Amino acid sequence: MSILLDTNALIWTLNDEVELGASARQQIEHALRHGGLMASAVSFWEVAMLVAKKRISLSKSADRWRFEALKLGIEEIALDGEIAVDAVQLSGLHSDPMNRFIAATAIKLQAPLVTSDARFLAWKGPLACIDARV
């Protein structure tokens, strides 16, 4: 099974954070072993912005952190025009553009999104979610 990591789940996974739940961790490890673990390029942008704004700290530079994620086997999914247009049409989802891009990416790929974002988890749209805290 392929899964897409939301930005928070990407950070928790790569930094081996305790916030990542056992079930989510197991599903992520399974996807990684089978070549189905993905992250949107938007998530790497978000991480770099969080570091630049000093809202998170990493043990290495954001570009090195990204490189190591890709080397580990996480597939980076580019933001394209189809995803960008689809993101506008997600009725009832909150208005944060980066989150809309991530949701549209998961929907396009027909992959569940691993997230702890309550807004994604509560949304009644066509997005399958895995709670990253469980």
- The predicted-structure confidence for 36-76, as pLDDT tens digits, reads as follows 999 999 999 999 999 999 999 999 999 999 999 999 999 99
The maximal CA–CA distance of the chain, rounded, in angstroms, is 38
Neighbours of 121 (CB within 10 A): 15
Give the residue ranges of DSSP H helices in the chain.
7-14, 22-33, 41-52, 62-72, 81-88, 97-109, 118-122
Segments forming the whole domain that contains residue 101: 3-131
* Distance from C-alpha of 13 to C-alpha of 56, rounded to nearest angstrom: 15
Interval 79-85 mean pLDDT: 98
Q: 16-45 pLDDT, tens per residue?
A: 999 999 999 999 999 999 999 999 999 999
pLDDT at 9: 98
Phi and psi, residue 90, nearest 5°: -85, 85
* Distance from C-alpha of 62 to C-alpha of 50, rounded to nearest angstrom: 10
If one counts the domains in the chain, the total is 1
pLDDT at 117: 97
Please provide the distance, in angstroms rounded to a whole number, between the alpha carbons at the two ends of the chain. Answer: 18
Question: For the domain that residue 95 is a member of, what is the CATH number?
Answer: 3.40.50.1010
- pTM confidence score: 0.97
